[in-house]
Amino acid sequence: MINKNNSFLIILSAPSGGGKSTILREVLKLRDNIDYSISYTTRAPRGAEENGVHYHFVSEAEFLAKLEAQDFLEYAKVFEKYWYGTSLSYTRSRLAKSRHVIMDIDVQGAAQIAAAGKVPCVRIFIIPPNMEELKRRLVLRGEDSDEDIARRLATAKKELDYIPEYDYLVINDELEDAVSDVLAIIRAEELKTSGNQEAQQDFLQ
Ligand code: 5GP
């Protein structure tokens, strides 16, 4: 049981290729009270990515119009190249229905949400066991040019400095273990006394 008002954002960040989309997919399969926030981006679809499923792929003009309309909970330019942003209206609508919202966003976006302090959130950073493995996964994915892989690895090194700002660190060595770690974190957040005042009142009645 959880308090019906105890919904929060689940922010996952990881270096590109860190395996967070796979973890996210598994978590969504295993929990039915979580919705995925599909980000807006100005980058082009990669591989089998579909518009409206993996991302809302938009032009720079469309992205800036949404920004002007103040419909981003957070947004950032990632890899000094493309815009990425989280829809404010979508997030609000899901939280209002007492559902958690899980999102895969970069360190700048996670910092913006935490600094604004408007919505309860738990921030989880995911890393592969080492940098070599990260490079191996990016190459294996076969979706990026050599130049993009180099940019992603350079960004990954900088992102590691942000780990202390996160609530939790999950090492994605074995997928199954990483998924159960993320589920355990979510469950622990749900059981926090601060989000369960109604249950405490019910007990007293
Ligand atoms: P990719 O291009 O590999 O899908 O994502 C690149 C980076 O952008 C990843 O670190 C991912 O977490 C981040 N990202 C994806 N969506 C968003 C978003 O809505 N906001 C922010 N700030 N970062 C995002």
Residue nearest to atom 6 of ligand 1 (CA): 16
pLDDT at position 2 is 42
Residue 198 alpha carbon to ligand 1 centre in Å:
36
110 Cβ below 6 A of ligand 1: no
pLDDT digit string (tens) for 16-45? 877 888 999 999 999 999 999 999 999 999
pLDDT at position 1 is 40
pLDDT at position 78 is 87
pLDDT at position 199 is 75
Single-letter code of the amino acid located at 114: A
pLDDT at position 4 is 54
Closest-CA residue to 23 (of 188, 172, 190): 172
CB neighbour list of residue 108: distance below 8 Å, 6 or more residues apart: 74, 76, 78
Residue nearest to atom 1 of ligand 1 (CA): 16
Residue 20 alpha carbon to ligand 1 centre in Å:
11
Do 54 and 118 form a contact (C-beta atoms < 8 A)?
no
pTM for this predicted structure:
0.91
List, run by run, the mean pLDDT of 10-residue segments along the chain (205 residues): 72 88 96 98 93 97 97 91 95 95 96 92 94 87 84 88 96 95 97 80 79
Atom in ligand 1 nearest the alpha carbon of residue 54: 4
* Domain spans, the chain: 9-37+99-204
CATH 3.40.50.300 for domain 9-37+99-204, yes or no, is yes
pLDDT at position 113 is 96
Atom in ligand 1 nearest the alpha carbon of residue 76: 22
* Beta pairing class for 40-41 and 34-36: unpaired
User: b/e string for 164-187 if b means 16 or more Cβ within 10 A?
Assistant: eebebebebeeeeebbebbeebbe
Enclosing H/E stretch for 87: strand 82-87
Cα 33 from chain centre:
16
17 Cβ below 6 A of ligand 1: no
